[in-house]
Amino acid sequence: MQAKITIPRPDDWHLHLRDGGMLEGVVGDSARHFARAIIMPNLVPPVVTAVQARTYRERILQALSPEVSFEPLMTLYLTETTDPDDVEEAAKSGLVKALKLYPAGATTNSESGVRDFDKVLPVLERMAQIDIPLCVHGEVTDSDIDIFDREAVFIDRVLDPLRRRVPGLRVVMEHVTTREGVDYVMASDSDIGATITTHHLIINRNHLLVGGIRPHYYCLPVAKREQHRLALRAAATSGDIRFFLGTDSAPHATDLKENACGCAGCYTSINTMSLLAHVFEEEKALEQLEQFASRNGPAFYGLPVNETRMTLVKGNTPVTFPQKISTRAGDVTVFDPGFDVFWYVEAD
């Protein structure tokens, strides 16, 4: 018997679409499977104001084929000079669904991020009042903290104190990669959520480093030890309402990744749903896929679950994905899970 599963159409709660030729080349891969996505604002220059978010949203919609329906949910990049009134207006108009906190220097295009958290307190307090969530890149940037410890240290030094200082602020711990991150979310109330990427359910740090350095597995936060990957799998497949899919699909041109100083980011928009079906089946939790990919995210963001549906089918032969996609900004290497995948998305 052929295995098959139908779920409400999924959403991607953490996505990088970039701009210009890259945007044009990648947006279709997300729109094919996802109804909505939270769009990361780390462009150069970053999307800081409501006006910038509005024009970026228009560029995204323009890059889509007219027949596809895909709703970009915009975010603003939190800086030390973000104006609380601009945030409130952007949130109330429905344009902006979250703000993104990058500690300065933590990841790709994060230079305009926050250094002094006191400076952003007025914005965070306003966000708590009007109930717009803060999406957090949860890594400290201190040079004396080992890169594999940066998430766990962030929770103790930054995230927990911040949440205590601004009660009522709802937070998404983005792309959680550690057991400590999972435990922190599980021990908290419903005012915290966490996104988990597809690739962190599949790779650990050995995949990145054993037998040669694999630049296409390099992303931030960097993949951790196996015990952490297993904790992420347990959380994603648990059905716990606080965990939801954010692919963090982050396209970079192949030559910028296969480089002496390679960029961080894995490109998974095109094969995420097949890979997730594989992972959830492996964990004997296929029935939880809809919680993770289609229900928990909308619940956190106070949005309806999509009415349209998606069917995933397990075929008898491995599904092939392109190794690379081409864009006007160079080709992008697709994330290779390193094993055969038999699940595919049935055409509408």
Give catalytic residue positions: 248
| Cβ closest to ligand NCD, residue 17 vs residue 312 | 17
User: Minimum distance from CB of 2 to ligand NCD (Å)?
Assistant: 35
- Shortest approach of Zn ion to residue 248 CB, angstroms? 4
CB of 96 to Zn ion, least distance (A): 17
- Compare residues 77 and 292 and give the one whose CB is closer to ligand NCD: 77
Pairing state between β 171-173 and 134-136? parallel
Question: Which of these ranges, 119-127, 152-160, 243-251, 270-278, lies near Zn ion under the rule CB under 5 A?
Answer: 243-251
Give whichever of 42 and 254 is closer to ligand NCD, judged by the CB atom: 42
Name the 3-class secondary structure at 268: coil
Binding map of ligand NCD across residues 125-164, x = CB under 6 A, - = no contact: ------------x---------------------------
Q: Which helix (H) or strand (E) holds 129?
A: helix 121-130
| Token digits of residue 176 | 């959680």
CA atoms of 88 and 127, how far apart (whole Å): 8
24 binds Zn ion (CB under 5 A): no
42 near ligand NCD (CB under 6 A): yes
CB 91 within 8 A of CB 114: no
- Of ligand NCD, Zn ion, none, which one does residue 107 interact with (CB within 5 to 8 Å by kind)? ligand NCD
Minimum gap (Å) between residue 330 Cβ and ligand NCD = 14
CB nearer to ligand NCD: pick between 9 and 18: 18
Mark the segment that binds Zn ion (CB under 5 A) among 117-125, 157-165, 228-236, 240-248.
240-248
- Residue 328 Cβ, how far from Zn ion at the closest point, in Å? 22
- Interface with ligand NCD (CB under 6 A), residue from 107, 195, 296, 327: 107
d(CA 209, CA 215) in angstroms, rounded, equals 9
SS3 state of residue 98:
strand
Question: Helices 50-63 & 20-33, crossing angle to 10 degrees?
Answer: 70
141 binds, among Zn ion, ligand NCD, none (CB under 5 to 8 A by kind): none
Angstrom distance (rounded) from CA 79 to CA 111: 10
Alpha-carbon span 142 to 205, nearest angstrom = 21
My answer on whether omega of the bond before 215 falls inside 30° of 0, hence cis, is no
Q: Does 12 bind ligand NCD (CB under 6 A)?
A: no
Q: With contact defined as beta carbons under 8 Å apart, do 315 and 28 qualify?
A: no
Dump the DSSP string for 288-326. Answer: GHHIIIIIHHHHHHT-PPPSSEEEEEE-SS-----SEEE
What is the H or E stretch that residue 61 is in? helix 50-63
Q: Counting contacts by CB under 6 A, is residue 272 touching ligand NCD?
A: no
Q: How far is the CB of 109 from ligand NCD (least distance, A)?
A: 6
Among 90, 140, 250, 270, binds ligand NCD (CB under 6 A): 250
Q: Which amino acid is at 328?
A: R
Considering the rule CB under 5 A, would residue 139 count as an interface residue with Zn ion? no
Strand bridging mode 192-196 / 171-173: parallel
- Tell me how far CA of residue 280 lies from CA of 20, 239, 295, 325, 348, in angstroms: 35, 11, 15, 26, 22
Candidate residues 11, 12, 180, 248; the one interacting with Zn ion per rule CB under 5 A: 248
> If binding is defined by CB under 5 A, does position 151 make contact with Zn ion?
no
Residue 286: which of ligand NCD, Zn ion, none does it interact with, CB under 5 to 8 A by kind? none
H, E, C per residue of 86-135: HHHHHHHCCCEEEEEECECCCCCCCCCCECCHHHHHHHHHHHHHHCCCEE
Residue numbers of the site for ligand NCD (CB under 6 A)? 16, 42, 107-108, 137, 219-220, 248, 250, 264-265
Residue numbers of the site for Zn ion (CB under 5 A)? 248
